[in-house]
Chain A
Amino acid sequence: MSGRCKVPVAVVAGTIVGVGGSQVAFAYELFDGCHYVTPTLKWKPALKSQTYLDEAQATAWAWTSTSTPISLTQASSGANVTLASGNWGSTEHDGYMRMNDGGPWYCGASGHWDQGTIAWLNTYYTDGYSSTKKKSVWVHEVGHSLGLAHSGEGAACSVIPIMAPETSDRYGRCSKSTPQTDDVNGINFLY
């Protein structure tokens, strides 16, 4: 993929070497370490209907209230992250993260996003979801915006991250709708 940065240092830091050389591997995955320059971020809603606003605000708070430097404050302009809802059709995806220009993720030369991101809910599916299930998808997509890739598919519910790729797994099986320990570790590595 042209134009995407490769920052292997992010991969190195996925492992801690403990006393005696034992290895404790983190499960979180990164987009080659690409992320926002700052953890102090603004978000704005772009919603199909105001019925999604509560879930958008709950999503921003879910990340802000973690033990990380992330702060997401609602703003009407200058937003880094847009929480959007719209109908993408029957793509079997209930959420997407896109850059502001509509493309998939790519890094600026500095190793940071060079534009804002959009965390989408696909209302073809999410119109039929409960409030908490919508939040599970949105918190996952904002995790992508912050720099986390998919991880933890099929993991035990005690450790499954919000970045597990399937809603049926992350939420259907494990009822997760907030960032988990592994997600927090990933964010604290990045920021």
Chain B
Amino acid sequence: MKRLILIAGVVAVTAFMLTWFVRPPADDTATGSRVSAPKDIEALSAGSAVVVIARPQGEPRVETVFNSPFMVQEFAVTERWKGDPPATLAVRMEGSPADNKDVSPQREYVLYLNPFEFERGVSTGQWWISGAGVDGIFVVDGDSALRIRHDPASPIKERQSIPSLRAAVGG
């Protein structure tokens, strides 16, 4: 009987450990339904009107939609990889500045962008990060770039070299 209890205990603990380590944490940020998602960096590039390296400048402002905050941050473009965007871009991001503390004027970012609009074909003057605001923003870290938004469902690799990102754009 003691042996049986011991075996049951070991099985239960093993199951707990396996589950704990194998099962990824629930996606605690994305409660949205994505229209679709790019399967790789080439698709992300192809689906973006503009790809740039840029640096945040000035203070962000907040706009709300149905009580939900969106941060609008100006970026100064330092390199153009795709498209012919203006020198500064107003980029719209989900959440408040407190939710976007990983966007710092001390760093440069690779941004994959499309015009943001409420009415089809009518520009708001703002830009949206391609890949549902998640996939298309990387912080430059030496000769590589690290994706700063973490959606477990995203197939886009978290760290990529700058040359490989640039090659995927075709630049």
Contact = CB atoms under 8 A, between A and B. Distances in A.
Interface of A: 1, 4, 8, 11-12, 14-15, 17, 21, 23, 25, 29-32, 84, 86-98, 101-105, 118, 120, 124-125, 137, 140-141, 144, 149-150, 153, 165-170, 172
Interface residues of B, number: 44
B18 A23 contact: yes
29 contacts: A11-B19, A12-B15, A17-B11, A17-B12, A29-B24, A30-B26, A86-B65, A87-B118, A88-B65, A88-B66, A89-B116, A90-B115, A90-B128, A91-B133, A92-B34, A92-B35, A93-B33, A96-B33, A97-B31, A98-B31, A102-B64, A102-B67, A124-B118, A141-B33, A149-B27, A165-B30, A166-B34, A167-B33, A168-B36
A167 B34 contact: yes
Given A95-B33, A149-B28, A11 B20 contact: yes
B33 A165 contact: yes
B37 interface: yes
A94 B28 contact: no
Given A4-B28, A91-B128, A102-B66, A150 B35 contact: no
Contacts of A11: 19-20, 23
Given A14-B23, A95-B32, 5 more contacts: A102-B67, A150-B30, A165-B30, A166-B36, A168-B36
Given A165-B30, A165-B33, A21 B11 contact: yes
B29 interface: yes
Contacts of B120: 124
A32 B28 CA distance: 9
A21 B12 CA distance: 9
B142 to A, nearest CB: 29
Contacts of A169: 36
A5 B88 CA distance: 40
Contacts of B128: 89-92
A15 B19 contact: yes
B33 A98 contact: no
Contact of A101 (B20, B67, B117): B67
A166 B65 contact: no
